[in-house]
Amino acid sequence: MPELPEVQTIVNELKKLVIGRKITNFWIDTPKLIKHPDLKTLEKQIKNLKIKNIRRKGKNILIDLSNNFTLLIHQKLTGHLLYGQWKIEGKKITPLLKGPLNDPINNFIHLILFLDNNYQLALSDLRKFAKVIFDKTETIENLKELKELGPDPLESNFNFEIFKKAIKSKKGKIKQVLMDQEVIAGIGNIYSDEILWWAKIHPLRTTVSLTEEELKKLYHYTLEVLKTAIKARGASVSDYRDPKGERGKYDEIRRVYRRENQKCYRCGTLIKRIKIGSRSSCFCPNCQKL
């Protein structure tokens, strides 16, 4: 699932590409992606609206439109937004531009916004789990799933005290707490593993067991890892691609995620993988002692 760095990369790119563009048409072949309103209402209301801004809340992309409307897209497990040109022939969607958009992982187009510059904003989603909500901006802002999000690591006021209070507010294993969107917004499986490796904290440690010094390290590396990942344009170990269809570069510098039975970059010990809840976690048993 695209996490904070991947979603922020998409937002940053789309801001350069589509702000000021008018939506001339709307196409979708999987209506179940739309959670609100009904398809006919969406098709009618979204046409001729202008894209005013694009922003991120947690892992959600919010496209602010004219007339005080907002389109929310949560890409879920395998979704990613692409910018280009496509030809629709029945059920076949063909990219018209040469290059990364022809990567097979970009060929699961299920939603297209047609823009007034003859380009399109498309959602590719292999598993069809993405979520789309269209409504007045005020209504979107007050959605339960947005109101319940924890503090965002990229906010300017995200200091150590806010981080500490958030972590300590939830009892449990630190790996799961870091991934809890109501504790900290935006962190998932990839970056929780990476943060914990850098901070030398075992994923099974409980939040109540963490010392002040360990919490400070955790806070530092939360910011460091996420900012580094954004500079690298995200991680493409799975389905994620940026709006041009290109892979992120964080794969090349990740330290521990999906490196089971490979040597730890710090001490040479073989990386282990365990299950915590329903999610896997990779860690160094030497550097990250329980």
Bridge partners (DSSP) of residue 133 are 36, 72
Q: Which of 131, 249, 272, 279 is catalytic?
A: 279
Q: Looking up tokens 């823009």, which residue turns up?
A: 115
Tell me whether residue 266 is one of the annotated catalytic residues.
no
Q: Which of 2, 5, 153, 243 is catalytic?
A: 2
- Is residue 61 within 8 A of residue 11, CB to CB? The reply is yes
- Is residue 231 within 8 A of residue 12, CB to CB? The reply is no
Q: Which of 56, 57, 59, 254 is catalytic?
A: 59
Distance CA 34, CA 131 (A): 6
Which 3 state secondary structure label does DSSP give 94?
strand
- Is residue 9 within 8 A of residue 234, CB to CB? The reply is yes
Tell me whether residue 5 is one of the annotated catalytic residues.
no
Tell me whether residue 16 is one of the annotated catalytic residues.
no
Which 3 state secondary structure label does DSSP give 85?
coil
Distance, C-alpha 130 to centroid of its chain: 12
Tell me whether residue 59 is one of the annotated catalytic residues.
yes
Can you say whether the dihedral through the CA atoms of 172, 178, 180, 182 is positive or negative?
A: positive
DSSP code, position 269 = P
Active site residues: 2-3, 59, 279
